[in-house]
Amino acid sequence: MYKLTSDLFREAAERFAVIEPGLLTHWPSKCKCPEPGIRFECQTCPYYKKLGQLVQQQIDPVGELGLATIRPVKHADPYTDQVKQQCIAMYQLGYSVNEIQELNGIPLRRTLRNWLRTSGLPGRSADFSEKEKQICIQLYLDGWTPREIEDQTDVSADTITDLVHAEGIARETRYPEAVKQQSLELYKEGKTAAQVAEITGVHPVTIYSWIAEAGLGGKQKRYSKATIDKCLRLYREGKSPKEISALTKVKAGTIRYWITKAGLIKVEDGDQVKVVTLLPPDPSQPVTRQSYERRPVGYWENFDNLKRELIALNEIRGQIGVMPTAQELQQMKRCDLQKAVSEFHGGYAAVAEKLGLIYGKKTYGYWLEFSNLEHELVAFIEHHGTPGVMPTKEEIQAVEPSLSWAIGQHGGFLQVAQRLNLKLSYSRKPRGYWRNLDNMKREILEVVEQLGQIEKTMPTHEELTRIGRKDLINAIASNGGWASVGKRIGLPYVRNYPNPNDY
């Protein structure tokens, strides 16, 4: 060995010997080794590796010397009980999950957390500040998964899951759009939700939520071909699904389904709007590139044409303000749009930015910008609400929980409505108003008159939802429910079918 090398080793050993005694008093170790570094077992001991790291931090506090990294031991999978118990003991001594993972060479953090959880050890969510928790919630609302957030912030995925459930913003399990559409089609064919769940493997609760979202809840109705043709004819004449629903008493969601199935789409032709068929109306026919109307040469290179087609497509699929993904366009057999976006206009993110559409994961801090909130809220109102009217918290929460949370971050629904010059869907009542039975009776009787009931009965949850009386729904619920309030004000409560909302 060269003298220079031996001198370096000797110098390092001397510095180690000087620093080590002062650290031993603060060294968290369950092994209680009397002579650290002397025994053979010290080579694989995670506690001794931690001691080595502490010494290195004393020698090189700012990391300028480039000291060697102390590598963890490589374990075979499955891990031995000794390794598991060692990790559990370190956690009990106060080591963080990151430290235990690094010192013991456990590559998957969820494996380590599973050991701790099954051992009955409590989590340490309280160790994180309120600011850190809010950052995690923000990232979750921006589309990040708990595991992605864990990698970014070191807050455990389990803690993040608990946080979002406590905030009421947890996302449902995401199924491919094709599975959702298949489930709805089976339901429209007459199968029950339970039968659809058995066929598709989707949980029945999710099936029920899709049915309600599509406006197909309640007892299924059978519509004649004449009714379907009439609705499609009205759509071709320029009426919207909501207008057709008012004329025919068919739910707008059902009408949208018929429009999509028929492959109808509105396109501008000069000053006129025409309805054309992009897909063959017979689903048994194979869909090819030529199944939609061919465009002239150079058509897709014009961005205005792409914009018009995307807006029309969003109207059909019920996703106003959202950029379709490549997978969604593939499922809808719109290879022409796929090619136009990718080859002529810079890709999906670039097109979404030009059109002001939402695409993919939102960047960190997205909801902190009021302009983003305004854009999202306007798009929500256009598709789900009434122009000029602020949606209620319940309406937004049911469709877009992240938007509801963002409104709260900007002062709440009343303040946001005032900033955007939106009217509230109902007049605000003074504190204690709904506790007065006379006030409630008067409001309910006005609704009964509005609904045009011949035999006066308690309005149902669905009827109050349809006319936008969320305030009255909450008041009835907080005063004992429909049957109780009806009895107290002298109105019978009649249910056409069991509804868990009318408790």
CA atoms within 13 A on the CB side of 148: 11
Domain ranges of the chain: 12-118, 125-167, 177-213, 366-424, 433-489
Helices (H), 107-192: 109-118, 130-141, 146-153, 157-167, 177-188
What pLDDT shows up at residue 75?
Answer: 64
Query: Angle 204-213/177-188 helices, nearest 10 degrees?
Result: 80
- The span from the CA of 258 to the CA of 274, in Å, is 18
- The span from the CA of 452 to the CA of 63, in Å, is 78
Q: Across the 503 residues of the chain, what is the mean pLDDT of every consecutive 10-residue run?
A: 64 70 64 65 71 72 62 66 84 79 75 76 63 80 74 71 74 69 79 74 72 66 80 86 85 78 60 50 39 70 89 74 78 82 80 77 71 86 81 77 82 86 74 84 88 82 78 83 87 62 44
- Which residues on neighbouring strands pair with residue 358, listed in sequence order? 322
pTM of the model: 0.29
457: left (phi over 0), alpha (psi -120 to 50) or beta: beta
Query: Measured at the alpha carbon of residue 331, what is the angle toward residues 329 and 332, in degrees to the nearest 5?
Result: 65
Pairing of strands 423-424, 389-390: parallel
Provide the total of helices (H) and of strands (E) in the chain, helices listed first. Answer: 26, 4
Contact 48, 33 (CB under 8 A): yes
- Could you give the 3-state DSSP secondary structure of residue 423? strand
CA atoms within 13 A on the CB side of 16: 13
Closest Cα to residue 161, out of 175, 174, 149, 176? 149
What pLDDT shows up at residue 497?
Answer: 44
Contact 416, 377 (CB under 8 A): yes
Closest Cα to residue 15, out of 72, 71, 73, 67? 67
The encoded tokens of residue 221 equal: 């109705």
Pairing of strands 264-269, 272-277: antiparallel
What pLDDT shows up at residue 366?
Answer: 72
What pLDDT shows up at residue 160?
Answer: 80
